Amino acid sequence: MSTDAEILQRRLERERAARKQAEAILEAKAKELYELNQSLELQIQQRTAQLEESERSYRNIVDNADDIIYNISAEGIFTYVNPAALAITEFTAEEAIGSRFQNIIRDDFKEKVIIFYAEMVRNKKEKTYYEFPIVSKSGRDIWIGQKTNLVEDKDGSFSFTVMARDITKRKIAEAELIIAKNEIEKSEYKYRSIMENMMLGLLEVDLEGRVTKAYPRFCEMVGYQEKEIIGKIAEDILMPDMESKEAIKEKNKERLDKKSDVYETVVKRKNGELVNVLISAAPFYDSFGKVIGSIGIHYDITERNRLKVELEKAKSLAEKAQQAEAHFLASMSHEIRTPLNAIVGMSHLLQDAKLNSDEKEYLEILKSSSNVLQKLISDVLDISKIDAGKLEIHNKPFDLEKLVLNLKRTFQVKLDSKPVSVISHQNFELDHLVLGDELLLNQILLNLIGNAEKFTEKGFITIDLELLERKKESLSIKFLVKDTGVGIARDQLSKIFEQFKQAHAEIRKDYGGTGLGLAITKKLIDLLGSEIFVESEIGKGTSFSFILDFGTTDIKTNEIEKYYSEELKFAEIDGRVLIVEDNPMNQKYITRLLEKWGLQYHVSNNGEEAVEICQREKFAIIFMDLQMPIMNGYEATNEIREKENLNQETPIVALTASTLLSKKQMALDAGMSDFLSKPFNPKQLSETLLNQFKLEAKEEVKSDSSNQFAFNPKLDVDYLIEQYGDDLQYGMEMMEVFLESVQLEFEVMKTSVSIDDFKTFAKSAHKIKPTFTMVGLSQFSTLFAQIEKEAKANKAEAFDLFGSVSKELKPYFQLIQSEIDKLHSHLKI
Amino acid sequence: MLGVVFTEFFEMVEDKFGYDMVDKLIEQSTSESKGIYTAVGTYHHGEIVEHVVNLHKESGLEIPLLLNTFGRYLHGTFVKNYSSFFENATNAFDFLESIENYIHVEVKKLYPDAELPSFDSERITDNQMVLYYTSARRLGDFAKGLIEQTMEYYEETAEVTMENLEADGSKVKFVITKK
């Protein structure tokens, strides 16, 4: 246990030791601090030297910099300006330092620049960039781009450190660019205003179809102001319906592929009116050639379309008027011809009666007057037929020489009373028939010779035929009809081919005529694809000439004599003739003629009576009027052809006052064999009668001699011969297949009609369409093509047309069946 | 270990038990410094452990209590000598949070050799925070005394719980919940 004294003693020792220890530590720390201090001073010296060096080098850079560098005090006084700045501004350092910054700014920019830097100080913006012009000591304009740093000291005062660059060249280039751009815009504007003045509306849209520019003419066109449509989707405002909106969107897409396009569409004006426009649209490029939109040039075609519609209306009206005219002429021909026929016929019959000389004279006047009337009606009808395009060219083999000879004889007889000779001349031999329209050529020559006869009092009428070219399959012949008549004045020559125009008014008085003869002649020659020429000299005569081409045949001219000779005895006709006619005068006319020729006949007053007697008696031939009460000629013919009776194969000749081809076609379609226009003379009736039997005889001879099969002429015989030729077995099989398949399809089509199934209906029509041609009924292929087309458009007309066509087809089915039967026996199957 | 810890420890012992106890502890000590400490010196940390263990033997008081009491005592010294640290914070949590990244950084500048514990803090709510004490010296109880005294200094009442995350006490979790 230690005493207090011992403890105290230890405590003192400890504390002295601790003090010494602390003193030693502190001494060491102090020494350490001293050494640290020494090293710090050295470091400061080194750092200061480094700083000075760095500042020197910076100043050096600044002094040698190409850029303008300067310092400005808060008051706007230059405190430092580098040599580059002095060089550019041409001031010396002495002049610059201490002067005001604003003194060097160009006058017109001073205010702007001062406001700009005042703003910079107020908003304490650390850095700014500004471009403005300064003026050098010598007065040169220099544009500088100036970067300014605001340097704020701790005490709140500030100054500017500025680095600027001479941008004069760039500014000049920019100005030039602006001028160039203006030039381009001016020229663009020029072209656009040209287009505007051409009433073309220009519209520019971006890639989304948003309007970027609408030119005044376009605005006028759609009734909007430019500001109303700018920025809007063009098609949304301007297109009247969804469909056209989509269409425009599609069109705009095409612009991306750099495609241009022209199309017609309808746009809606602000007031809701629709405008037809023709749009020429093209992609629109930026200066890098990238498509940035499209430009559309709009042309208002509303007026044009309206005119088009009106024109179409007018055309259809004109066509209707023409049809009405044709209809009128047809009716007129019926109304006038029927009684006229009786007059002509009766006067012919009177000739055979015993008459005194006065009566004979009256009869002559009656005959000539009715002949003139007949001729006039015939001419008028010819003209109207030609004008309506209803006159067809029928090329058949005929004897050209004989035609000329007949004409020559006819006029020789006529000119018996005048000192005028008819001479024909031909510079070539023809021992074969030629192919052409005998009737038309006859009419042309008849008119020309008739004309010559009328105006020639003495001398000659020459009919000249000159062979211009002979090829294997064609002949080119020049016809010349020349007279020694009164001649035509030069100034009248151009008029003679006009309708109802004669060289001068007195001619009608002196020579008569309808004034239609030469007009018809010219039209007929035009129709045949040729041209008529006339030459004349007053007092010396006139000559007409034209050139026609004919086909060649291998039928010898002497053979035709057999077929066309009038030697055939009417007595050879086996059986009675049936006359179906409601007009008693016509009945009498025909019956007297038949009596004269020694033929037996029966008369029925209408179709019904005819059908009835056909059940009981087989006739040699039937003459059938078309327009009759109770049952008309078409219906009666249909009945006779379709129903079981004794006359299904008997030839039926239509008698009608109408000369229209459509009526003729209707008659043939109804199953008639030939066609005789009323009024007819005895010769025409006898020819028709004989032709019926002769043609059949000819066919029989042909089939016997060459063992060839004669198809019913109602079928397309040429096609059938070409198609089946020697292989008649094949032809017959085709016809059998045809009947089977068509009737089957007809059932399908009828069912389709009842359930309004256009698709199935069109399909069937398509299927059977070609089969008609295969059996020689090509006209029905055309009709079924039309039916198919209508059906595809879902038009009910298809059903109506089918109804009428299938009715029309009925007799043909029987005809095909009878052809099959005939082929059976021919092939002895 | 900083000399101030030793000088303050013996100040406290002298204060509470009289210099006799100080003398007794130094005389028993086998340490190198032989009880001669100055606040500006640095000594081996094992010496303080020896002195505390010996004080426990002499006084019969438990070591945690002794360390806690020493912590609270030393806090007073810190307030006296380094008042600026305490004035910079306005509340206890802010102060505790500033230990690791501010106070210790500053201490290192004055005493580059000092080996300081780490205090990772985590504010759970406005009224609760967690402090992770990590030190090879394993003086968690001492730290707890410092924390408790800090709360008192800022006149805030709080419950401080202590949990050893490592069995040897080298890592300790303090949960401080204000009341």
Q: Where are the beta strands (DSSP E) in chain B?
A: 118-125, 128-134, 158-164, 171-178
Closest CA to B52 of B139, B143, B174: B139
Q: Which residues of B touch A21 (CB under 8 A)?
A: 36, 38, 41
Upper half-sphere CA count for residue A218 (Cβ side, 13 Å): 27
- A62-82: b or e for each residue (b if 16 or more CB lie within 10 Å)? beeeebbbbbbeeeeebebbb
Angle between helices A661-669 and A633-642 (to 10 degrees): 20
pLDDT band at residue A775, thresholds of 50, 70 and 90? confident
Boundary residue ending a domain (B13, B41, B61): B61
pLDDT tens digits, residue range A285-296? Answer: 887 778 888 888
The answer to whether the beta carbons of residues A232 and A205 sit under 8 Å apart is no
Residue type, A247: A
Which residue in the set B19, B34, B40 is minimally distant from A22, CB to CB? B40
The answer to whether the beta carbons of residues B147 and B176 sit under 8 Å apart is yes
The answer to whether the beta carbons of residues A619 and A594 sit under 8 Å apart is no
- The reply to whether B174 and B87 lie within a common domain is yes
- If you average pLDDT over residues A25-54, what whole number do you get? 89
The answer to whether the beta carbons of residues A280 and A290 sit under 8 Å apart is no
Residue of B nearest to A10 (CA): B23
Q: How confident is the model at residue A705, as a pLDDT?
A: 33
pLDDT at A476 exceeding the cut of 90: yes
Residue type, A160: F
Percentage, residues of chain A above pLDDT 90:
15
CA A546 vs CA A401, A411, A437, A535: distances in Å: 17, 21, 15, 12
- Largest Cα separation within chain B, whole Å, is 50
Q: Which residues of B touch A19 (CB under 8 A)?
A: 38
Closest CA to A528 of A323, A391, A361: A391
Inter-chain CB proximity B40 and A26 less than 8 Å: yes
Range of the domain at B143: 69-178
Q: Is the peptide bond before A397 cis (omega within 30 degrees of 0)?
A: no
The answer to whether the beta carbons of residues A574 and A620 sit under 8 Å apart is yes
Enumerate the β-bridge partners of residue A206: A293
For residues A576 and A256, the model is more confident at A576
Residues in Cβ contact with A530 at an 8 Å cutoff, skipping those fewer than 6 apart: A546, A547, A548
Q: How confident is the model at residue B143, as a pLDDT?
A: 92
- If you average pLDDT over residues A628-638, what whole number do you get? 85
Upper half-sphere CA count for residue A492 (Cβ side, 13 Å): 14
Confirm or reject contact between A253 and chain B (CB < 8 A). no
DSSP state of A738: H
For residues B8 and A702, the model is more confident at B8
Q: Where are the beta strands (DSSP E) in A532-647?
A: 532-537, 541-556, 577-580, 601-604, 621-625
Percentage, residues of chain A above pLDDT 70:
91
Q: Scan for tokens 């803090």, then name that residue.
A: B121
Enumerate the β-bridge partners of residue B120: B132
The answer to whether the beta carbons of residues B42 and B113 sit under 8 Å apart is yes
C-alpha triplet A101, A104, A110: angle, nearest 5°: 85
Closest CA to A445 of A463, A459, A430, A428: A463
Residue of A25, A26, A32, A36 for testing the chain B interface, max B β-carbons within 10 Å: A25
Q: How confident is the model at residue A734, as a pLDDT?
A: 78
- The reply to whether B121 and B171 lie within a common domain is yes
**Structural domain count of chain B:** 2
Enumerate the β-bridge partners of residue A274: A268
Q: How many helices (H) and strands (E) does chain A have?
A: 26, 22
pLDDT at A198 exceeding the cut of 80: no
pLDDT band at residue B74, thresholds of 50, 70 and 90? very high
Distance in Å, alpha carbon of A40 to nearest chain B alpha carbon: 18
Residue of A nearest to B14 (CA): A11
Q: How confident is the model at residue A512, as a pLDDT?
A: 58
Residue of A1, A8, A11, A23 for testing the chain B interface, max B β-carbons within 10 Å: A11
CA distance A567 to A716: 32
Tokens of A386: 């030609």
- The reply to whether B80 and B161 lie within a common domain is yes
The answer to whether the beta carbons of residues B138 and B176 sit under 8 Å apart is no
- The reply to whether B40 and B95 lie within a common domain is no
- The reply to whether B44 and B74 lie within a common domain is no
Confirm or reject contact between A9 and chain B (CB < 8 A). no
Residue of A9, A15, A16, A21 for testing the chain B interface, max B β-carbons within 10 Å: A21
Closest CA to A113 of A94, A137, A131, A90: A131
Q: How confident is the model at residue A55, as a pLDDT?
A: 87
- If you average pLDDT over residues A136-148, what whole number do you get? 91
**Mean pLDDT score across all residues of chain A:** 83
H or E segment at A688? Answer: helix A682-706
CA B10 vs CA A8, A704, A823: distances in Å: 15, 163, 152
Inter-chain CB proximity B38 and A10 less than 8 Å: no
Inter-chain CB proximity A10 and B23 less than 8 Å: yes
Q: How confident is the model at residue A564, as a pLDDT?
A: 40
Inter-chain CB proximity A22 and B35 less than 8 Å: no
The answer to whether the beta carbons of residues A632 and A589 sit under 8 Å apart is no
- The reply to whether B102 and B55 lie within a common domain is no
Q: Residues B117, B118, B119, B122: what is their CA dihedral angle, to the nearest 10 degrees?
A: -160
pLDDT tens digits, residue range A408-465? Answer: 877 887 787 788 888 888 888 888 889 998 888 988 998 899 889 888 888 889 999 9
Tokens of B86: 């305490």
pLDDT tens digits, residue range B13-59? Answer: 998 999 889 999 998 888 888 888 998 888 888 898 899 999 999 99
Distance in Å, alpha carbon of B65 to nearest chain A alpha carbon: 27
Angle between helices A797-826 and A778-792 (to 10 degrees): 150
- The reply to whether B15 and B102 lie within a common domain is no
- CATH number, domain with residue B132: 3.90.1520.10
- Give A 25-84 residues with CB within 8 A of chain B: 25-26, 29
Closest CA to A760 of A772, A749, A769, A771: A749
The answer to whether the beta carbons of residues B69 and B146 sit under 8 Å apart is no
Task: Say how far residue B34 (Cα) sits from the centre of its chain.
Answer: 23
For residues A703 and A640, the model is more confident at A640
Q: Give residue B60's region: left, alpha or beta (phi > 0; psi -120 to 50).
A: left
pLDDT at A550 exceeding the cut of 70: yes
For residues B157 and A713, the model is more confident at B157
Q: Scan for tokens 């020197």, then name that residue.
A: A56
pLDDT band at residue A565, thresholds of 50, 70 and 90? very low
Tokens of A524: 């007929």
- If you average pLDDT over residues B77-96, what whole number do you get? 88
Tokens of A83: 């040599």
The mean-pLDDT minimum among A28-37, A256-265, A562-571 falls in A562-571
Which residue in the set B22, B26, B41 is minimally distant from A21, CB to CB? B41
CA distance A105 to A266: 61
pLDDT band at residue A514, thresholds of 50, 70 and 90? low
Confirm or reject contact between A817 and chain B (CB < 8 A). no
Mode of pairing for the β-strands spanning A68-73 and A141-152: unpaired
Q: How confident is the model at residue A508, as a pLDDT?
A: 54
Boundary residue ending a domain (B61, B92, B110): B61
Q: Which residues of B touch A29 (CB under 8 A)?
A: 40
CA distance A284 to A288: 11
The answer to whether the beta carbons of residues B175 and B130 sit under 8 Å apart is yes
Inter-chain CB proximity A22 and B38 less than 8 Å: yes
pLDDT band at residue A560, thresholds of 50, 70 and 90? very low
Angle between helices A438-455 and A517-527 (to 10 degrees): 150
- The reply to whether B76 and B154 lie within a common domain is yes
pLDDT band at residue A753, thresholds of 50, 70 and 90? confident
- The reply to whether B56 and B78 lie within a common domain is no
- If you average pLDDT over residues A768-794, what whole number do you get? 85
pLDDT band at residue A567, thresholds of 50, 70 and 90? very low
Q: How confident is the model at residue B151, as a pLDDT?
A: 93
Q: How confident is the model at residue A699, as a pLDDT?
A: 36
Distance in Å, alpha carbon of A18 to nearest chain B alpha carbon: 5
- The reply to whether B36 and B88 lie within a common domain is no
Which residue in the set B20, B36, B39 is minimally distant from A7, CB to CB? B20
- B143-157: b or e for each residue (b if 16 or more CB lie within 10 Å)? bbbbbbbbbeebeee
Q: Is A592 helix (H, G, I), strand (E, B) or coil?
A: helix
- If you average pLDDT over residues A711-734, what whole number do you get? 77
Q: Which residues of B touch A18 (CB under 8 A)?
A: 36-38
The answer to whether the beta carbons of residues B173 and B128 sit under 8 Å apart is no
Which residue in the set A2, A18, A29 is minimally distant from B37, CB to CB? A18
Residue of A nearest to B42 (CA): A25
Inter-chain CB proximity B23 and A2 less than 8 Å: yes
Residue type, A322: Q
Q: Is the peptide bond before A679 cis (omega within 30 degrees of 0)?
A: yes
Q: Residues A389, A391, A397, A398: what is their CA dihedral angle, to the nearest 10 degrees?
A: -130
pLDDT band at residue B67, thresholds of 50, 70 and 90? very high
Confirm or reject contact between A170 and chain B (CB < 8 A). no
- If you average pLDDT over residues A464-491, what whole number do you get? 90
pLDDT at A558 exceeding the cut of 70: no
- The reply to whether B78 and B166 lie within a common domain is yes
- The reply to whether B92 and B32 lie within a common domain is no
pLDDT at A533 exceeding the cut of 50: yes
Inter-chain CB proximity A17 and B20 less than 8 Å: no
pLDDT tens digits, residue range A309-331? Answer: 999 999 999 888 877 776 777 66
Which residue in the set B22, B23, B41 is minimally distant from A25, CB to CB? B41
Confirm or reject contact between A314 and chain B (CB < 8 A). no
pLDDT tens digits, residue range B123-168? Answer: 999 899 999 999 888 889 999 999 999 999 999 999 999 999 988 8
pLDDT at A767 exceeding the cut of 90: no
Boundary residue ending a domain (B61, B81, B106): B61
